[in-house]
Amino acid sequence: MKAMSKSTHPLRHLSIRVPWHDNGWDGTICQQPKLNEACLRLKHIADNKDDETEQAHALIILGAGAHYEHDDARGRKQLEQAVAICRQAGDKRQLAWATTVLSQMIGRSCKIDEALSVAREGLRLAVELGEKTVVVFAIIFLALFLKRLGQVERSLRILSCGIAYGNSFGYRLSPYMWDAIHPELDAMRSILGEGAFTKGWAEGEVISFERALQDALEVCE
C-alpha cells in the first residue's frame, strides 16, 4: 500500500474587509462619506476619491429618502446642502439631479411657485447635459405641479409624453415612482372623465418630445 503523498496545494489566505460605515450598517449609504478614511487604504480609491461629489450624492439620496421616513423638513435641508455643494464645485450633472429632486420636496409642501422655479433649473440643466433620465423625472414633476395648479388636461399630456419619452430609450419608472403617480392619474381620470382622460393620455403619447418640453418650460416662466 502506497504511503499518502504530502499535499502540494499552495497555501491560500482569505482576507475579509468589513466596510467602513458611519451609521451602524443600517442599510443606507454613509451620512458623511468624505470622512471615510478607511477606504483610502485601497490605492485605486485613494487616487480617485472625490469628496465633494460623494458628499453631494449622499445628500441627494438621503434627502430623497427622508420623505419615506416622514421627515420632509430634513430631506429639504439635505437637498439644499447638496445643491450648495454642487454649485460650489461646478458639478452641473449632480446639480441637475439635486434641483429636480429638491423641486419635488418643495412641491410636497404646497409651495408650487418656488417648486416650479427650482424644477426649471433642473430641467434646463438636464437638457443641456443630455441627462435623459433626469429630464424624464423633471418632466413628470412639472406635470404633477400643473395638476395642482388646476391645469389637468395639460398636466396629463405632459405626463404621458414624459413617460413615453423614457420608454423610447429604455428607461422604465420604478415601482416607487408608479406608486406616486397612480393616485394622481386616478384623480385626473375622476376630474376629466374616462373619455377625456383616455384622449389626453393618447395625445401625450404621440406629440413630439420637443413640443412637450417647450410646454413644460413655459409652465416655469
Contacts of 126 (CB under 8 A, 6+ apart): 96, 97, 100, 132, 134, 135, 138
Is residue 34 predicted with pLDDT exceeding 80?
Answer: no
Mean pLDDT within 159-188? 93
Q: What would the pLDDT profile of 43-68 be if each residue is shown by its tens digit?
A: 666 666 677 888 888 899 889 888 87
Distances (CA, A) of 85 to 55, 98, 99, 134: 8, 10, 12, 19
For residues 123 and 100, is the Cβ–Cβ distance under 8 A? yes
**What is the total residue count of the chain?**
221
- pLDDT for the residue 50: 72
- Residue of higher predicted confidence among 14 and 50: 50
What is the set of domains in the chain, with CATH numbers?
A: 47-220 (1.25.40.10)
- The answer to whether residue 203 scores a pLDDT higher than 70 is yes
Position 193, amino acid = G
> Using only C-alpha atoms, what is the Rg of the chain?
23
Report the distance separating Cα 196 and Cα 213, nearest Å: 22
C-alpha cell at 179: 406608486
Residue 3, pLDDT above cutoff 60: no
How far, in Å, CA of 39 to CA of 121, rounded?
A: 35
Read off the pTM: 0.77
Find out whether 49 and 57 touch, Cβ atoms under 8 Å. no
Whether 74 and 59 have beta carbons less than 8 Å apart is answered as: no
Assess whether pLDDT exceeds 80 at residue 197. yes
Query: Cα–Cα distance between 134 and 121 in angstroms, integer?
Result: 12
Question: Where do we find the cell 418643495?
Answer: 106
Q: How many CB atoms lie within 10 A of CB 29?
A: 16
Average pLDDT over residues 169-194: 94
Q: For 27-49, what is the mean pLDDT?
A: 67
Kindly report, residue by residue over 73-88, the tens digit of the pLDDT: 999 999 999 999 999 9
